[in-house]
Structure 1
Amino acid sequence: MDIEKLRADTPGCAGVAHLNNAGAALPPQPVIDAVAGHFALESSIGGYEAADRGAAAIAHFYDAVAGLIGAHRDEIAYVENATRAWDMAFHSIPFAAGDRIVTTTSEYASNAIAYRQVAGARGVRVTVLPDDEHGTLSLEALAAELARGDVRLVSINHIPTYNGLVNPAAEVGRLCRETGTLYLLDACQSVGQLGVDVREIGCDMLSSTGRKYLRGPRGTGFLYVRRQIVQTLEPPFLDLHSAEWTGPDTYEIAAGARRFETWEWYVAGQIGLGVAAEYAAGIGVAAIEERVTALAATLRDRLAERPGVRLLDRGARRSGLVTFTVDGHGSDAVKAALRAAGVNVSVTTGSHSRFDPKAVPAAVRASVHYYNTGDELGRLLDALPR
C-alpha cells in the first residue's frame, strides 16, 4: 500500500488529521470527480438527461458493490443511507405476536428504537444477549435462544459505534443457518474497513453506508438481500419503481433487491458510491483491514501509556474505532481541544447504548483509516489535555 500516493489522492489530508472515519471518512479524488462531474452534467443538460447519459456508471454501482461483498448484482439495492436501508429490510419482515428479535448489548440506537416500535405494534418480544468474557455477544447464549424455536430474527451490528469490538458475524451466521433463522447484519462500520463476504458470513440481509469506511459520498447507502429470501419480503412502502401498477386494484412487486429502491434517488451519489467500492477493491480489503487494525492497536498502546487516559475498548477482536476518556476533562471538551489542534474525532454518548450496562455517559472516539499516519496519531496525543 503506497500511503503517500493514497494521501495525495485525498485532498483533505493536506488540511486535517482526520480520525473521525467512523463518522464520515475523507473521500478520494476519483469519488469527488465522479460526484461533481455528474452534478455538473445535470446542471448543464438536465437531471433526467444526465441520468440517461450516465446509465453505464449507474449500472456499474451494482457490480462494484456486489463484487466487494461477494454478492450477486440483483441482490443489491441502492438506498439513500444505511439507516433507511436497514429500516427497509427490517420493516419488510412479517412479524407476528409472539415472535422474538434477538440482538446484542451494543446495538445501535436507531435499530433498538425500531425494535421497540414493532414490539409495541405487533406483540414482538426483544431479547438482548449477554456478553461473553471478552465483552462480545455470547455465542453460547445465542445458541440457547435459537434452540427455543420462537426467534424470528437475529439482528446485530458487525462493529458497534462505541466500544471498539468486532462481533463474530460469521459464527452468528452459522448458528442462524442451522436453525433457519433470519439474520440481519448492520455493517455500516465494517464495509470498507474489514473483509466482508456475505456468503462466508451467512447473513440474509446486510445494510451499509457510503460515508464511513467506504469513503463514498454522504447521503448514500446500500442493502443486500439474499436471492433465496427476497420474494418473502414486502417493503414497507412501494412506488412505481419498486412495483408495477398492473391494474386499477393490483400491483406487482419488482423482482430482486431493487424492490427496496425508490424512483427518485441521488444519482450522482450512486455513481460516486460505485466508484468508492471499486476504489476499495483496487486497494484490497485484506490490506485495508491489516493497516487499520495495526494503526488502531498502535493508538491504543500509546493512549494506555498516558496518565489519566482510560481506554474503553473490549472484545477478542478489535476494530479501527478507539474509545477513551480523559480524567478531569469532559469528552466534548477533549473533542474541542483536538479540533482546535487540527485533529478530528467524535464523541459517543450513553443515550446511544442503553442495552449495555458497561457503557459510560460519554467517550471520545478516534477512528483510523488506512490513509492515516503515525504522525497523525502523535498529533492527537500531543493535543490531549493533561
Structure 2
Amino acid sequence: MEIDVAKVRNETPGCAKVAHLNNAGAALPPSPVIDAVARHLELEAMTGGYEAAEANAAAIDRFYDAVAGLIGAHRDEIAYVENATRAWDMAFYGIAFAPGERVLTTTSEYSSNAIAYRQRGVQVDVVPDGPDGTIDLDALEDELRRGGVRLVSLNHVPTSNGLVNPAAEVGRLCRAAGVLFLLDACQSVGQLPVDVNEIGCDLLSATGRKYLRGPRGTGFLYARRDVLTSIEPPLLDNAAAEWHAPDYELRPDAKRFETWERYIAGQIGLGVAADYASGLGINAISARVDVLASLLRAELASRPGVTVHDRGVIRSGLVTFSVDGRTPTEIVQAARARDINVNVSEPRWHGYDPDAVEAVVRASVHYYNSEEEIERLLAVL
C-alpha cells in the first residue's frame, strides 16, 4: 500500500498555504480531524457542554479503540491526557521508588524529563551512546546487571538529530531484568510502526499534535495491564477514582490517569486522527516519510557549507542541519518569508547530551509533504 499524496494533500487545507516542514513541532491536521473538532465545539456552543458530550458519547469513546488499535494495545490500557509531557508525568510520578533505586536514561533525554528526575530526587545514571549515536545496548545491559534499577526511561526518537533508538532491544533487556520500561514516543507515534507488544514497554507517552496530526492540547498514556495497578497517579479526581466516604477506590484500568474535565473536542479529534493514520497504513506512512527524509538529507549533504547532523542506523523524518555563515534563526526566518516552515532545535531541550552545544535547523517531513516542497527549502539555502 502506498500513500496517495495528491489525495492526502487535498485533505490537508494547510498545504494550499504553506510548505509545512515542521511536523516534529506540530503537524497540519487533515480535514476529518478539523471537522470532528469543529462539529463538537459547535454542538457545545449550541446545546451546552454536558449535553454535547452526552450526544457525542460514541465518538468520545471511539478514541480508546482507535489509539489502542494503532499501537497494538487493549482499550483499557489507554488514557486520554492533555499532552505527552503530562502523560509521561502521570506515569513517572506514580512510580514508587525505594531509597537508592536508580533510573537509567540516555544522553538525548528531553530536558523536561530531566527536570522531573531532579525534582523527585531520584538517582539518574545516563547510559552512553554507541558509535552510531543510539543508546549503547551493551552499556545498558551492564547497568542492569549492576542492579538497583527501578526504571529505564527512553526517548524513541530524540528531538534533535534524526535517529531512532532501538526500543525493542531495550524492551528485551528490561523484561529479562524485571525492570520497568517507560518509552517517550512523542516523536514516533504517527510516523513509525509502534507496537507496544513488540517493543515490550510497560508505559508509553505520546502527543496528538505531532506526527499523529491531531489537535494541540491532546495526548495519551499507555499502561500495560499487569503494571498499571501498581502505579498510583500523583493527581486524582472523581474520574480516576470513586469516592466511598471516608475513602476512595482507584479505577482498575488506565482511566485512573485521566481527569474528569478534559478537552472533549480534542479527544474526539485525536481518535479521528488515529483512525486516519490506521486507514492509510503506518507502514505506508513510514515508507513515505523515509523517502522524503532521505532525499532531503542527501540534497543537503551535497551542498557546500551545509552540515547534516543526523545520527543513527535507522533514521526518522527529523532532519537537522546547519549552514556556514548563517544562524539557524536566520534560516528559519528566510524560509518563513517564503511560506516554508522549519524550526530551530536548541541545546536546552536536551537534558544530558554533551554534544548538543549548538542550535541547528530542524526540518521534519511527513507523508503529505511533496518533493517540490523540499526543493523550495533547498532553494532558500
TM-score range, shorter chain: over 0.9
Picking from 294, 318, 330, the partner of 1:297 is: 294
Cα distance per residue 1:310-332 (max 9 Å; x no partner): 11100111100000111111111
Q: Structure 1 counterpart of 2:81, which letter?
A: V
Partner residue, 1:340: 337
Q: Structure 2 counterpart of 1:225, which letter?
A: A
Partner residue, 2:98: 96
Cα distance in 2 for residues equivalent to 1:286 and 1:353:
29
Cα distance in 2 for residues equivalent to 1:361 and 1:352:
11
Superposition map of 1:121-160 within 5 A:
124-160=122-158
Task: State the SS of the aligned residue for 1:103.
Answer: strand
Task: Quote the offset at 1:96 in angstroms.
Answer: 2.1
Task: Quote the offset at 1:346 in angstroms.
Answer: 0.6
1:326 aligns with 2:323: yes
Partner residue, 2:311: 314
Partner residue, 2:22: 20
Asked if structure 2 preserves the Cα contact closer than 8 Å seen for 1:102 and 1:154, the reply is: yes
Partner residue, 1:286: 283
Cα distance in 1 for residues equivalent to 2:336 and 2:350:
25
Superposition map of 1:207-286 within 5 A:
207-248=205-246, 250-286=247-283
Cα distance per residue 1:127-166 (max 9 Å; x no partner): 0011111111100000000011100000010000011100
Asked if structure 2 preserves the Cα contact closer than 8 Å seen for 1:351 and 1:361, the reply is: no
1:186 aligns with 2:184: yes
Task: State the SS of the aligned residue for 1:136.
Answer: coil
Cα distance in 1 for residues equivalent to 2:283 and 2:332:
31
Identity of aligned residues (%): 67
Picking from 76, 79, 93, the partner of 1:77 is: 79
- Report runs of 4+ in structure 1 exceeding 4 Å deviation: none
Task: State the SS of the aligned residue for 1:216.
Answer: coil
Cα distance in 2 for residues equivalent to 1:361 and 1:304:
19
Give the TM-score of the pair, scaled to structure 2: 0.99
Asked if structure 2 preserves the Cα contact closer than 8 Å seen for 1:163 and 1:312, the reply is: yes
Task: Quote the offset at 1:354 in angstroms.
Answer: 4.1
Cα distance per residue 1:299-320 (max 9 Å; x no partner): 0000001111111100111100
Task: State the SS of the aligned residue for 1:101.
Answer: strand
Superposition map of 1:15-94 within 5 A:
15-94=17-96
Q: Structure 1 counterpart of 2:54, which letter?
A: D
Cα distance in 2 for residues equivalent to 1:195 and 1:380:
28
Picking from 354, 359, 365, the partner of 1:368 is: 365
| Structure 1 unmatched ranges of 5 or more | none
Task: Quote the offset at 1:237 in angstroms.
Answer: 1.0
Task: State the SS of the aligned residue for 2:212.
Answer: coil
Cα distance in 1 for residues equivalent to 2:345 and 2:72:
32
Cα distance per residue 1:18-69 (max 9 Å; x no partner): 0000000000000000000000000000000000000000110000000000
Partner residue, 2:117: 115
Asked if structure 1 preserves the Cα contact closer than 8 Å seen for 2:110 and 2:351, the reply is: no
Asked if structure 2 preserves the Cα contact closer than 8 Å seen for 1:81 and 1:219, the reply is: yes
Cα distance in 2 for residues equivalent to 1:15 and 1:336:
17
Cα distance in 1 for residues equivalent to 2:299 and 2:22:
18
Partner residue, 2:346: 349
Cα distance in 2 for residues equivalent to 1:13 and 1:346:
17
Task: Quote the offset at 1:206 in angstroms.
Answer: 0.2
Cα distance in 2 for residues equivalent to 1:158 and 1:53:
38
Cα distance in 2 for residues equivalent to 1:373 and 1:101:
41
Cα distance in 1 for residues equivalent to 2:110 and 2:348:
10
Task: Quote the offset at 1:375 in angstroms.
Answer: 0.4
Q: Structure 1 counterpart of 2:15, which letter?
A: C
CA RMSD across the alignment: 0.6
Cα distance in 2 for residues equivalent to 1:241 and 1:304:
52
Picking from 199, 207, 211, the partner of 2:197 is: 199
Asked if structure 2 preserves the Cα contact closer than 8 Å seen for 1:291 and 1:370, the reply is: yes
Q: Structure 1 counterpart of 2:104, which letter?
A: V
Q: Structure 1 counterpart of 2:236, which letter?
A: L
Q: Structure 2 counterpart of 1:163, which letter?
A: N
